[in-house]
C-alpha cells in the first residue's frame, strides 16, 4: 500500500513521517527502510532502520528511484516498510511522472507499505498523485 503526506514546506510532514516510523518500530517485525535526499534525519532515526541517502547513490530520476526500491525488494523479502522524506528533492517536479512512479511502486510484487512526503499544494498535483494522499 502506498500513502502520501502532502503539504507545503513547514507544515509538519516530516514530523508525521517520523511518528509513523517510531510507531512501525513497535509493531512491525520486518525491516524498515528510510530514504531521504541527505542524512539530515539520521540523529532522529533508530539504528534499527536502514537509512538510504539517495544523493549518495546518485538517485536523481524516477527510473533510478524505482530501480533502487525494486532492487531492494527483490533482494530482501524481509522489508515491510519504506519511508521516503522529500521525494521531489530526489526525483524532480514532473507531477505526471510522479503519478506513474507511485502507480509502479504500488503494484510491486512484494508486500511492502510506503509512506512518502510530497512538498506541494494538493491542488497543484494531478489525480494520479492525490489518489494516494492520506
CATH class of 2-130: alpha beta
Q: How far, in Å, CA of 116 to CA of 89, rounded?
A: 12
Model pLDDT for residues 4-49, shown as the tens digit of each residue: 999 998 899 999 999 999 999 999 999 999 999 887 777 778 889 9
Cβ neighbours of residue 119 under 8 Å, at least 6 residues apart?
7, 8, 9, 13, 86, 88, 89
Model pLDDT for residues 86-134, shown as the tens digit of each residue: 999 999 999 999 999 999 999 999 999 999 999 999 999 999 999 999 8
SS (HEC) of 110-121: CCCEEEEEEECC
pTM of the predicted model as reported, rounded to 2 decimal places: 0.94
99 phi/psi in degrees, rounded to 5: -60, -40
pLDDT at res. 44: 79
Amino acid at each position: 500500500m502506498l500513502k502520501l503526506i502532502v503539504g507545503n514546506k513547514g507544515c509538519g510532514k516530516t514530523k508525521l513521517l517520523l511518528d509513523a516510523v517510531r510507531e512501525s518500530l513497535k509493531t512491525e517485525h520486518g525491516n524498515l527502510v528510510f530514504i531521504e535526499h541527505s542524512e539530515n534525519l539520521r540523529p532522529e532515526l533508530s539504528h534499527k532502520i536502514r537509512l538510504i541517502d539517495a544523493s549518495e547513490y546518485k538517485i536523481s530520476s524516477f527510473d533510478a528511484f524505482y530501480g533502487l526500491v525494486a532492487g531492494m525488494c527483490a533482494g530482501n523479502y524481509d522489508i515491510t516498510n519504506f519511508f521516503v522524506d522529500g521525494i521531489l528533492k530526489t526525483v524532480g517536479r514532473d507531477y505526471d511522472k510522479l503519478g506513474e512512479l507511485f502507480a509502479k511502486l504500488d503494484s510491486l510484487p512484494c508486500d511492502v507499505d510506503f509512506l512518502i512526503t510530497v512538498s506541494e499544494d494538493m491542488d497543484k498535483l494531478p489525480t494520479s498523485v492525490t489518489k494516494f494522499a492520506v
